[in-house]
Amino acid sequence: MYTGMLHLHNLMRWVILVLLIINILRHITAMGKPFGAADKKLGLFAMIAAHITLLIGLYQYFAGGLGIKLFQSMGMAAVMKDPVARFWAVEHLSGMLIGIVLITLARSVYRNSSSDAAKHRRALVLYVLALAVIVAVIPWPGRTGIGRALFPGM
């Protein structure tokens, strides 16, 4: 089951990246237009995908060997000194949580009573920040010790 969840988690990474890019492009091109239903739906899809991926990731963190078990087996000091263990036990989780919070905040922009241009601008900034944080903490291939295949198991 863990391997299947790992593959699903990896697939959802691509869904989130694509949705973030679509949202960014949408808000760039719609800057002078009303904040409409399409903006709300795209934001909702990105938020749902991010939260589903979070739940899968939390399962992996607590059930797998690269999360809480690193602290249990190595201890806090050893984990923090080892860059690979620190990435999996702290950095990946923290960075993704920050990215998901930014996506959720961007989704809530439409509730503000500000102008449509301000809503687009605020959502754009939040989505760009979320994309930057998420891209920074993905275990891309080539990263020494932490790199994963782009499509593992496929």
Q: What is the mean pLDDT of residues 58-84?
A: 93
Domain boundaries defined on the chain: 2-30+37-136
Mean pLDDT of 54-82: 94
77: DSSP letter:
H
pLDDT of residue 28: 94
Among 121, 73, 72, 132, which Cα is nearest to 98's?
A: 132
Give per-residue pLDDT as tens, 80-108. Answer: 999 999 999 999 999 999 999 999 999 99
* Average pLDDT of the residues of the chain: 92
Q: What's the burial of 89, exposed, middle or buried (CB within 10 Å: 0-12/13-18/19+)?
A: buried
Token reading at 151: 């499509």
Model confidence band, residue 153 (pLDDT cutoffs 50, 70, 90) = low
